[in-house]
């Protein structure tokens, strides 16, 4: 699992690629939390999932954990570009109710 982040126009963009599962999530969790802490005060965070080829319940837990951390800073969280399989998991789990899917990439 790889993660890249960048700030653009009041938003934090986090790009994830690889497999978001129990074997890879710990290293990405620490990096994402560090980046969120550094960017406190921005209006929102957008997690781009285009590069995520596999995600299980641990991946959902990762996203919910980042959502909670962002809420401490009053930042909104959005998801964009999930592949078909991740989109199905996110839809069925109800994640989109708290972190909406953006229809177009920014």
The answer to whether the CB of 66 falls within 8 A of the CB of 33 is yes
User: pLDDT for 53-92, tens place per residue?
Assistant: 999 999 999 999 999 999 999 999 999 999 898 999 999 9
Dihedral sign, Cα of residue 13, residue 101, residue 66, residue 61: negative
pLDDT of residue 104: 60
Rounded percentage of the chain residues whose pLDDT exceeds 90: 83
- Partners of 45 in the beta sheet? 12, 77
- Give domain limits for the chain: 2-101
Query: Is the pLDDT reported for residue 105 higher than 90?
Result: no
Record the pTM. 0.92
**Which SS3 state, helix, strand or coil, does residue 58 take?**
helix
pLDDT of 78 reads 98
Residue 23 pLDDT greater than 60, yes or no: yes
- The domain defined by 2-101 carries CATH number 3.30.750.24: yes
């Amino acid at each position: 699992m790889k993660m890249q982040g960048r700030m653009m126009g009041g938003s934090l963009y986090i790009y994830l690629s690889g497999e978001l599962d129990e074997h890879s999530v710990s290293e990405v969790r620490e990096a994402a939390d560090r980046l969120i802490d550094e960017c406190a005060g921005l209006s929102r965070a957008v997690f781009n999932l285009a590069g995520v080829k596999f995600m299980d319940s641990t991946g959902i837990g990762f996203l919910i954990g980042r959502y909670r951390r962002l809420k401490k800073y009053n930042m909104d969280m959005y998801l964009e570009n999930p592949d078909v399989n991740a989109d199905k998991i996110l839809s069925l789990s109800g994640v989109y109710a708290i972190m909406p899917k953006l229809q177009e990439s920014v």
